[in-house]
Amino acid sequence: MIASLLAAAGDFVAPVADYHALAPEIVLAAGICLVLLVDLFVEERQRWITSTLAGFVLLGAFIPVVTLAVIGGDVRNGLGGDVLDGRYVIDEYALILKALFLIAGYVVVLMSSDEIESGRYHQGEYYVLLLTSVLGMVMMASSRDLISIFVALEFLSIPAYMLAAWNKRNSKGNEAGMKYYLLGVFASAIMLYGMSLLYGVTGTTLLSEIGPAITANGQFSGIEALAVVFIVVGFAFKVSAVPFHQWAPDVYEGAPTPITAFLSVASKAAGFVALTTLVFLAFPLASDVYQPFIWVLSAASMTVGNLLALRQTNIVRMLAYSSISQGGFILMPLTVAGEAGVGESALKAVVVYLVVYAATNLGAFAVVIAVAKKTRSGDISSFGGLFSYAPALGVLMTVFLASLAGIPPLGGWFAKFGAFKAVLDAGTNWGYSIAIIAALNTVIAAAYYITVMREIWMKPVPDGDVTPIRTPSSIQAALVITCGATIVLGVLPDLVGRFGDLSDLTGALGR
Amino acid sequence: MDVISDQNWLLSLGTFLPLAGVLVMLLIPKREELLHKQVALVTALGTLGVGIYTLTQFDYDKAEQLQFYANTEWISVIKSGYTIGLDGISLPLYFLSMVITVLVMIYSWDHIPSPGNPKAFLILMLVLQTGMAGTFIAQDLILFFVFFEVVLLPMYFMIGVWGGEQRQYASLKFFLYTMFGSALMLVAFLALFYQTDSVSFSIPYLIEQGINIDEDVAVWIFAGMFIGFAVKVPMFPFHTWLPDAHTQAPTQGSVILAAILLKLGTYGFVRIAIPILPQAAVKWAPVIGVLAVIGIIYGALGCLAQKDMKRLIAFSSVAHMGFVMLGISTLTATGINAAMFGMVAHGLITGMLFFCAGSIKERYHTLEISRLSGLLIQMPKLGWILGFCAMASLGLPGLAGFWGEFPAILSAYNPAPALSEPLFRVLMVIAALGTVLAAAYLLWLYQRTAFGEPNPEFTGHGHAHAVGAAGNDEHHDDIHDVNVFEWIAWTPLLIAIVVFGVYPQLMFKVMDPAVTQLVEVFNK
């Protein structure tokens, strides 16, 4: 039998892989094995090593991302693109998002180490799952093929289902895991059905070939429309866009807070990345279908998310609904992505928004974790008087909330500005109408962000307990990274603005 | 447009120096209160030093040109640049913001409002200073917008944390009004960008291109900017946040609000809305003029109805800003010169009035006009200063206030050729009546608070319970005259009020070339 296998493999020529281009994934994969092995051989009370190790693995994977970015486009396109036939591409767009996922993963590790170490269990497995999920995301950034997108998506989702259920002794934790799993699988199924239809119609899984093939017989067929809608619905679940959002608040509340941060930022961003890639590469001729559909998703997400966020008394649930509403803003540029000449600013807007939103929201969750260590409460009122006894945390939370509200000079303003500019660039009625809806929502959102700020600055401490908060050094590090990024991106938005060139993404398609 | 790019680092230094102080203060622990005050004051003085150097380096013969002009790439994605420059219009306000910050810092030396925490208070003030100075130097709409918004949060916290009893309501109102205004303003900026071929947000560029925008469109864009700036000024009917914010803000907040923040709105009209969209400005000028005059009368009548001294001063701001807006709405060199002068004069005089109110409140723990009397007997120096400021505020010739009001009224007699002469003459008459009302409410305020015998409630030491009703009663016997920090903080303002009153040319000659150039387009 082995002989026959060998014989069959006889004319197999190993592809000339560009190991440099694939280095981030390789480092991550090796790191996952390493963490698992270390976890097997260290004693229970030394398991903190796994946390440190996971952090180093993520940073290690970040190094090749930087070197690839420094080397520039030619080397990457020449090797990575050709070998894998344009199905797995390392371009600027992929690199900035890989960097985003790795840094976000690193910040989540920093946020987790104290939380998971203190009295919890299965530290090693926790970090293995986290790293695996990040690997899926990193792969998602490069995927330009229906199959690799789907594989990356499952790769990042399945560990996330388990992480959501990490508080397994707690009924809310079980609810979170179960809900997330069932709805996630349901979404995957719908999406897969859409993909199979798309494959059936176009005969290819390569996005760049699907794009031109989608109207091959001159007009748009019903089945193509159905395929596009199904795929968008599948991702709408992943990014928790209204009306496919019901799972999010429960899952966010039940999961451990660092995982909530991870889901609401990194996992969500991965969904947006896939959707964006599809919209620009596979659906450029299907804009009549996806644009109105995403328009509805976007308008509903920001409005419903905001209105529900206004009524929350639990900070994590409020941030959950706020992240639904922010998701609506990220979808906004995609509602006009197919208009002539708008693609560039729409793509940039999405990329910039994802980066800024990641930094800001992770920071907000880091503060929530730090404060909850003392107050043991998730109520917004537990932030009362925070400024008086923990001024640093109070100011940081203010920075993050102000950034989420879009107040200059913090990152959020530029993200929102970019989104507005993209839809106004289009100059269509769809664009203007979504801009008006978004403008109203910006003001509504400011109301609930400012509620928390008022608690922090102006309300008395709820139980008069003003013992200072001891913030673990790992969370301090997470706060420094996120706050630094939030401010720097607001003052010098060009740092990320130069990434996400449309020609970069579609250029890969051209070859 | 010609620009002068010599020493183009100077404005950035003056604008961002306060942030260096903020960084230092962040590293100092909260309990080192004295050190915080020292660092903040030194920073503010250093900034003022840069400001003075800027004054000496400014080429007054070319005051119509942007000087110290710098233009570097900032956000290339949206074609917005870090474009800064200073001309005769912005120089006085830029410098005023630095002076006011220093004086407020000095005043804060022994007047940190409850609940204390000088570290945070002074840091917010330095951040405010950066935002204010930045707004006056920005020559790019996006940069302007960012600086314009930077002042929002520090002021919100200053009112909300260190303010009076209704502080939360007042601060929220302030925040939401301003946020609403700036959202519309930003939309207008974007529309402007698209209407001028999406090339640049630079103000000099847009001044060249804006005139080509179709008039119907331009009127709408102007409307967006109008609301954004009018909220900040504030013009009737967008003024309702102001009395609350002023009354509830701590003294320092009120002073900065009155002296500088309100000017961001009027400055926006003069710097952005009118020069970029002159065709729309002509259409809007009657509206602005009418609203300005309504503001004058309404503010004055509002003053007459007030029972609280600080609230009265706040309403007088509405009236005074009405004169400024009336001057702007004439679209003439005289009118806009008067408006610019009025902005600075109002900053000096109303700032001073709020200082006085703050000091009275600190001593009596109340600003209820009916409970105050005989200031001149109990605190003759403070009483005289209050009288002096009231006179300046009502526009007594020889003091700075006169040169803001009188030429503004005069200019309405002869508005720009495109505007309706009868309408503006009617406005002129009504505005002139407004000055009579101004005299009425200020003298009335002064008579009731300064003349007569001191209220027995505050003369003895045995009335603690009576004062207790007004709040904190621990220092009720602490009624003393002007102290040394107050003298240091106030003297420069008092001197400036006299100097500009006697020799207004000092400021007019700086502004006039730039203003003349600005209104050229209306004289055709």
pLDDT digits (tens, 9 = 90+) for B251-273: 999 999 999 999 999 999 999 99
| CB < 8 Å to A414, chain B | 75
Q: Which residues on chain A place their C-beta less than 8 Å from a C-beta of chain B?
A: 345, 348, 352, 387-388, 391, 398, 402, 407-409, 413-414, 417-418, 420-421, 424-425, 427, 435, 439, 442-443, 446-447, 450, 454, 457-458, 492-494, 497-498
Yes or no, beta carbons of B172 and A402 under 8 Å apart: no
Taking alpha carbons only, the member of A191, A188, A203 closest to residue A155 is A188
| CB < 8 Å to B120, chain A | 387, 391
- B220–chain A Cβ distance below 8 A for any pair: no
Yes or no, beta carbons of B74 and A494 under 8 Å apart: yes
Yes or no, beta carbons of A409 and B152 under 8 Å apart: no
Q: Which of A353, A443, A458 to mutate to test the interface with B (most CBs of B within 10 A)?
A: A458
Please report, for residues A2, A148, A302, the alpha-carbon distance to residue A14 in angstroms, rounded to integers and kept in the order given: 19, 19, 49
pLDDT mean over A63-92? 70
CA of A474 vs chain B CAs: smallest distance (Å): 20
In the block, which residue shows the tokens 């929350």?
A312
Q: Which of B76, B77, B127 to mutate to test the interface with A (most CBs of A within 10 A)?
A: B77
- B77–chain A Cβ distance below 8 A for any pair: yes
In A, minimum Cα distance to B117 occurs at A388
Percent above pLDDT 70 for chain B: 96
Residue B163 banded pLDDT, cuts 50, 70, 90: confident
Taking alpha carbons only, the member of B192, B207, B253 closest to residue B514 is B207
**What is the predicted pLDDT for the residue at A511?**
31
Name residue B259's amino acid: A
Burial of A21 from C-beta contacts in 10 A (0-12 / 13-18 / 19+): buried
CA of A393 vs chain B CAs: smallest distance (Å): 13
- B149–chain A Cβ distance below 8 A for any pair: yes
**What is the predicted pLDDT for the residue at A80?**
46
| CB < 8 Å to B153, chain A | 398, 402, 407
- pLDDT at A122 > cutoff 70: yes
Residue A101 banded pLDDT, cuts 50, 70, 90: very high
* CB burial string A289-306: b at 16+ within 10 A, e below: bbbebbbbbbbbbbbbbb
Burial of B332 from C-beta contacts in 10 A (0-12 / 13-18 / 19+): buried
Taking alpha carbons only, the member of B262, B47, B40, B46 closest to residue B135 is B262
- pLDDT at B469 > cutoff 60: no
- pLDDT at A10 > cutoff 70: no
| CB < 8 Å to A425, chain B | 194
Q: Which of A96, A310, A395, A407 to mutate to test the interface with B (most CBs of B within 10 A)?
A: A407
- pLDDT at A416 > cutoff 50: yes
Yes or no, beta carbons of B176 and A409 under 8 Å apart: no
| CB < 8 Å to A446, chain B | 175-176, 179
Helix axes B309-329, B241-248, angle to 10 degrees: 140
Yes or no, beta carbons of A494 and B73 under 8 Å apart: yes
Yes or no, beta carbons of B77 and A493 under 8 Å apart: yes
- B73–chain A Cβ distance below 8 A for any pair: yes
What number of other Cβ atoms are within 10 A of residue B406's Cβ? Answer: 18
pLDDT mean over A365-369? 92
Name residue B317's amino acid: S
In B, minimum Cα distance to A395 occurs at B120
| pLDDT digits 0-9 by tens, B212-238 | 888 888 999 999 999 999 998 888 888
Nearest CB neighbour to B150, from listed A408, A457, A492: A408
| pLDDT digits 0-9 by tens, B111-157 | 888 788 889 999 999 999 999 999 999 999 999 999 999 998 899 99
Percent above pLDDT 70 for chain A: 90
Yes or no, beta carbons of A494 and B160 under 8 Å apart: no
What number of other Cβ atoms are within 10 A of residue A466's Cβ? Answer: 10
Residue A396 banded pLDDT, cuts 50, 70, 90: very high
- pLDDT at B354 > cutoff 90: yes
With the C-alpha atoms ordered B488, B491, B493, B496, is the resulting torsion angle positive or negative? Answer: negative
The number of helices, as runs of H, and strands, as runs of E, in chain A is: 24, 0
Yes or no, beta carbons of A391 and B120 under 8 Å apart: yes
Distance spanning both ends of chain A, measured CA to CA = 40
Can you name the residues that pair with B399 across neighbouring β-strands?
A: none
- pLDDT at A464 > cutoff 90: no
Tokens standing for residue A342: 């708008």
Nearest CB neighbour to B190, from listed A424, A450, A497: A424
- pLDDT at A504 > cutoff 70: no
Nearest CB neighbour to A497, from listed B75, B167, B175: B75
| CB < 8 Å to B191, chain A | 424
Name residue A288's amino acid: D
- The stretches of A118-246 forming alpha helices (DSSP H) are 123-142, 146-164, 171-202, 207-213, 222-238
| pLDDT digits 0-9 by tens, B419-429 | 888 999 999 99
Taking alpha carbons only, the member of A96, A115, A153 closest to residue A365 is A115
Residue B522 banded pLDDT, cuts 50, 70, 90: confident
Residues B255 and B357: their CA atoms lie apart, in Å, by 10
Helix (H, G, I), strand (E, B) or coil at A103: helix
Please report, for residues B354, B504, B510, the alpha-carbon distance to residue B55 in angstroms, rounded to integers and kept in the order given: 27, 17, 11
Residues A468 and A451: their CA atoms lie apart, in Å, by 23
The mean pLDDT of chain B is 88
Q: How far is CA A14 from the centre of its chain?
A: 34
Residue A119 banded pLDDT, cuts 50, 70, 90: low
| CB < 8 Å to A413, chain B | 146, 149
Yes or no, beta carbons of B179 and A446 under 8 Å apart: yes
- pLDDT at A319 > cutoff 60: yes
| CB < 8 Å to A498, chain B | 76-77
CA of B414 vs chain A CAs: smallest distance (Å): 41
Helix (H, G, I), strand (E, B) or coil at B72: strand
| CB < 8 Å to B179, chain A | 443, 446
**What is the predicted pLDDT for the residue at B48?**
94
Yes or no, beta carbons of B77 and A418 under 8 Å apart: yes
- B29–chain A Cβ distance below 8 A for any pair: no
A263 and A239 in contact (C-beta within 8 Å)? Answer: no
pLDDT mean over A32-37? 92
Yes or no, beta carbons of A413 and B146 under 8 Å apart: yes
Distance spanning both ends of chain B, measured CA to CA = 19
Taking alpha carbons only, the member of A226, A354, A207, A219 closest to residue A290 is A226
- pLDDT at B470 > cutoff 80: no
| pLDDT digits 0-9 by tens, B319-337 | 999 999 999 999 999 999 9
